[in-house]
Structure 1
Amino acid sequence: MSRPRVVIVGAGFAGYQTARTLARLTRNKADIVLLNPTDYFLYLPLLPQVAAGVLEPRRVTVSLTGTLPGVRLVLGEADDIDLEARTVHYTDPEGDGGTLSYDRLVLAVGSVNKLLPVPGVAEHAHGFRGLPEALYLRDHVTRQIELAAAADDYKNRSSRCTFVVVGAGYTGTEVAAQGQLFTDELVRKQPLREGMRPRWLLLDVAPRVLPELDERLSSTADRVLRERGVDVRTGTSVEEATSTGVRLSDGEFVDTRTLVWCVGVRPDPLVAGVGRPMERGRLLVDPYLQVPGHPEVFACGDAAAVPDLEKPGEYTAMTAQHAWRHGKVAGHNVAASLGVGTRRVYRHRDLGFVVDLGGVKAAANPLGIPLSGPLAGVVTRGYHLAAMPGNRVRVAADWILDAVLPRQGVQLGLVRSWSVPLESASPELARVAGGPEKRAGATGGDGSPADTGTAGPGGSGPARMSKAEASAVRDPGNRPAPEPDALAARDPDAPRAPDPGRPAGPDGSRPGSDSGRPAGAAPDSPAFRGPAEQAGPHPDKPTAPGPVRPVEGES
């Protein structure tokens, strides 16, 4: 008798924990298949430390095959789900299609960057939700400091030394805090003229930073940021982003080459394509994490609207804590549906929050006890080490080395601006010129903290199309990856001639993406509550207003 097959789509916090829990409970009694575009689980909370040069990139990536025994990894991105046929169609990294049949399905596709209808944001801002975006930001910031140190024009130096972060939630606050320390370290090696110092602006329409947290944590973070030199502006939004700066809601124009978009996330639009009831872009499930009408289908993480039994009438927030716990319950319930154990409803109790502010500073409230300063820093790092499913020794070693050795302020040049567009549906993957076609037909959502969208058509394999057609279909912004010569005209660091080892041509955004900007949702609607809704110019962005883009929901 063949083993029942369980297909898990996505290996973020929810998907990874589901696979781990299910493999432990079933003990090879089920064929567990994990479909994911990368071969690693990304520990998102430490991504700002990668961008700031504290941690090496591989430290925050945990091998799926190395830590999930009994789980079969299939590299690819789901682009169509047929609930009636019980199949999942996907496209692999080389553009070939495949189909997985299932007896049980777990949708844990996570979330993507949330866009707002602000002119110029899609063209000139980068996000912060994937490793490519963190690597790009690290190189970009380093380059701006180096160029500013060699520039003769004051305005040019000032613009390059100004970094704008939009959204003062978890990600934006940590990016600004780590970024200020990183650029101050770079300036010690590349002294700026006339006593100029790197300037970081943190913007949000909310009345305070970290608006979703306790006011004491918020005030601690605000104080640390201001003492460090970060220009925190609450109640402020971006009205327009250009290649040379951003115009704020108070009328001020800030000259800058860097705009980091951290205004929040929205559910991956793939779930909207299953044709089941949605809640603000998230797939509705019952307290057992099952999709009503399809008991063989489970959903968890950011893409699932899970009833909050502690707050009747509400749904759990899109956070890493909830996603991790969702995964554990989903694993138990899938196993129970196969005759192993009993199922359980999802309940939670907040254990507190931690916010790493760089150096020895942090803000934390474990078990409701507010902490700040070095003690909070110890608790925060201890929490991350305990939560990480791997690489703990390597992460701790990097922290020790960072405390005693200077950071290496060098560019790796691995990720270009156009390869991490803000509208990308797959922030975990960098776009590659001339790359394979992926999930065709993916479009953006309808706005709200979680946008909806439509998934591309399924089939036995992707239809072949021209590069231009593939780019227009796959990239929600209809923006093909630039040809080498065209890129050189916009990006001074780009090669002027085609790389003989790599085809030059358009590349689309990843399959099943939610790369559209929210349509029809007002900026002051609940969907956009929390982080700021603005964006600013990007230092590595093309000087011409041509389209291009990139990274943290804390889940």
Structure 2
Amino acid sequence: MDIVTRPRILVVGAGFAGVGCVRRLERRLAPDEADVTLVTPFSYQLYLPLLPQVASGVLTPQSIALSLRRSKKYRTRIIPGGAIGVDLRSKVCVIRTITDRFVNEPYDYIVLAPGSVTRTFDIPGLVDNAFGMKTLAEAAYIRDHVITQLDLADASQDPAERASRLQFVVVGGGYAGTETAACLQLLTHNAVKRYPRLDPGLIKWHLIDIAPKLMPELGEKLGRSAQEVLRRRGIDISLGTSVAKAGPEEVTFTDGRVIPTHTLIWTAGVVASPLIGTLGAETVRGRLAVTSEMCLPGHDGVFALGDAAAVPDEATGGDAVCPPTAQHAMRQGKVVADNVMATLRGQAMRPYRHKDLGLVVDLGGTDAVSKPLGIELRGLPAQAVARGYHWSALRTNVAKARVLTNWTLNALAGDDFVRTGFQSRRPAKLKDFEYTDRYLTEEQVRAHVAGTEPGSG
């Protein structure tokens, strides 16, 4: 008897793009129409825009880790690991599992949504001494680290050590960096009240960026409003400036200033996952060059989207590419799922076209700036829009309940500023979380698939 095999759809990445695609496939594919497999090292989707609120203790880590198995229709097979190479000719993806075992996973259709990694530069000491803000573990660690600095400063008898532990540097004037600096400054501002031996005036936050403006997408007026909020709180903003050298106890800026500090948080942008470099395909500034339907030209059954793909922005005429935002990734996931199903069924695919709904920036407390549908808002109205947007975008009702409960409890009762210490003896710098050295070269991928590379098979 002949064994009938269903088409195999492999989705790489469980971010906004990958999960959006998988959920749509589950809802609209018949059970016997195709097999869906998802490759991800974690069993949750991280709601990344709210990560600064985890770092500042407003939200608990669990509240923005959305379970992948909560859907009633969930039938997707999950491989716990990361894709480290793809052989497009053989239609095989090489996966390193969380137990460091190599798996060659064949596919008929592949959806590449591996996301992005932190963009770093060849700055001496950066990856060894800076913290990142891309993962749940990093956010939880940074909260512990910041509170630890207050504890150590409070206990120290050395004025120089006390001053250095109370200086904090955030690099990156985009949304991630600005919200991180704003939320963590509020954390230290509130926490220092519990430290009567510490002079609040010693606490100094620095926000620096090489660009001439913070969050230029907000426009002149809102951008200036955001800067005014931060400066009113005492955050030192330095534009046209970056890091020249990073050490364990000091940071040297490109303008020559040396800041004694134990805290350097790096959020200066992202680049596409190194997985894209294993394909040997055309890229646009590191992102995979795809069509408006998010197909890879010259390779049937290969789709790419999200931060890792240069998807033409049809809303602006297709000359530019869609920015790497959650808003685009969520919507691209649905269109890619529809296009995969259309290919399966011999139907026509549709291009991705989406009008930007606007921008929201939560600066903590009652401070925010938002630009929904081009309307400029500040303060409480902007805060309501920002939190309302994030709350509605959470995928599960239990996540919505947790986040709303956290917001309410924090507003009514404040924070206990507890240092858990669960990672206190573990390194947690950029080099410890990105794993960018794990990926294979194009030649190594082919050798693994052929079974000639050590550890393959």
- 1:353-395 deviation per Cα after TM superposition (whole angstroms, max 9, x unaligned): 0001001211101110000001110111000011110200110
Which of 326, 347, 372 aligns to 1:366? It is 372
> Contact (CA 8 Å) 1:77, 1:439: kept in 2 or not?
no
Report the equivalent of 1:385: 391
Residue 277 of structure 2: aligned partner: 272
CA drift of 1:11 comes to: 0.6
CA contact (8 A) 2:447 2:453 kept: no
> Of the candidates 401, 412, 422, which is equivalent to residue 404 of structure 1?
412
Contact 1:441 1:454 in 2 (8 A): no
1:329-478 equivalences under 5 Å are 329-339=335-345, 342-390=348-396, 391-416=399-424, 419-423=427-431, 426=434, 440=438, 442=440, 458-459=448-449, 463=454
Which of 251, 258, 261 is 2:256 aligned to? 251
TM-score, normalised to structure 1, is 0.77
Question: Which letter does structure 1 place at the counterpart of 2:140?
Answer: L
1:215 to 210, 214, 220: 220
The 8 Å contact of residues 342 and 348 in structure 2, kept in 1 or not, is answered as: yes
**Are the aligned partners of 1:79 and 1:439 in contact in 2 as well (CA < 8 Å)?**
no
Contact in 2 for aligned 1:80/1:457 (Cα 8 Å): no
Aligned to 1:63: 67
CA-CA distance at 1:408 after TM superposition: 2.4
Alignment partner for residue 56 of structure 2, among 34, 52, 58? 52
Percentage identity across paired residues of the two chains? 42
Measure, in 1, the Cα distance between the counterparts of 2:267 and 2:446.
27
SS of alignment partner, residue 89 of structure 2: coil
In structure 2, do the counterparts of structure 1 residues 145 and 456 end up closer, same or farther at CA, with 3 Å as the change threshold? farther
Is the Cα contact below 8 Å between 1:148 and 1:192 reproduced in 2? no
Q: How many Å apart are 1:331 and its aligned residue?
A: 0.8
Aligned partner of 2:36 among 32, 43, 47: 32
Is 2:55–2:143's contact at 8 Å kept on the other side of the alignment?
yes
Rounded to whole Å, the distance in 1 between the matches of 2:452 and 2:357 is 46
The whole-number CA distance in structure 2 between the counterparts of 1:195 and 1:379 is 32
Q: 1:20 aligns with which of 15, 18, 23?
A: 23
How far residue 464 of structure 1 moved from its aligned partner, in angstroms, is 5.9
Which of these residues, 247, 272, 293, is aligned with residue 242 of structure 1?
247
2:183 is matched with: 178
Asked if the contact 2:118–2:434 (Cα under 8 Å) also holds between the matched residues in 1, the reply is no
The CA distance in 2 between the partners of 1:142 and 1:424, in whole Å, is 21
Shift of 1:415: 2.7
- TM-score (ref. length: structure 2): 0.92
Distance 2:59 2:90 in 1: 45
2: CA distance, partners of 1:350 / 1:70: 32
Following superposition, the deviation at residue 239 of structure 1 comes to 1.4
Q: Specify whether residues 205 and 346 from structure 1 end up closer, same or farther in structure 2 by C-alpha distance, changes over 3 A only.
A: same
Deviations 1:378-422 (A, max 9, x none): 111000011110200110000000001131212222235864331
Q: Deviations over 1:429-487 (max 9, x none)?
A: xxxxxxxxx985548xxxxxxxx99979634698469xxxxxxxxxxxxxxxxxxxxxx
Match of 1:83 in 2: 88
Q: Higher helix share goes to which structure?
A: 2
Specify the SS of the correspondent of 1:291.
coil
- Whichever residue aligns with residue 51 of structure 1, its letter is A
RMSD after superposition: 2.3
Structure 1 residues 456-465 or 7-16, which shifts more?
456-465
Residues 146-174 of structure 1, C-alpha deviation per residue, up to 9 Å, x if partnerless? 11111122111111011000011000000
Structure 1 spans left out of the alignment, 5+ residues? 428-437, 444-451, 466-555
Deviations 1:274-324 (A, max 9, x none): 111111211111111000011211000111111122243321111111111
> What's the offset of the Cα at 1:339?
1.0
Look up the SS of the partner of 2:216 in the other structure.
coil
Q: Of 293, 296, 302, which residue of structure 2 is paired with 1:288? A: 293
Amino acid of the residue matched to residue 147 of structure 2? T
Aligned AA for 2:61? P
Among 171, 174, 180, which residue is 1:169 paired with?
Answer: 174
SS in 2 for 1:173: helix
Give, in whole Å, the separation in 2 of the partners of 1:334 and 1:116.
37
**Letter matched to residue 26 of structure 1:** L
Corresponding residue for residue 206 of structure 1: 211
Larger RCO of the pair (alpha carbons < 8 Å, separation 6+) = 1
User: CA 1:461–1:413 in 2, change beyond 3 Å: closer, same or farther?
Assistant: farther
Whole-Å Cα distance in 2 between the matches of residues 213 and 296 of structure 1? 38
| Alignment CA distance shift 1:454-1:131 (3 Å) | farther
Q: Is the 8 A contact 2:192 2:200 kept in 1?
A: no
Indicate how the Cα distance of structure 1 residues 83 and 395 shifts in structure 2: closer, same or farther if over 3 A, else same: same
Amino acid paired to 2:43:
D
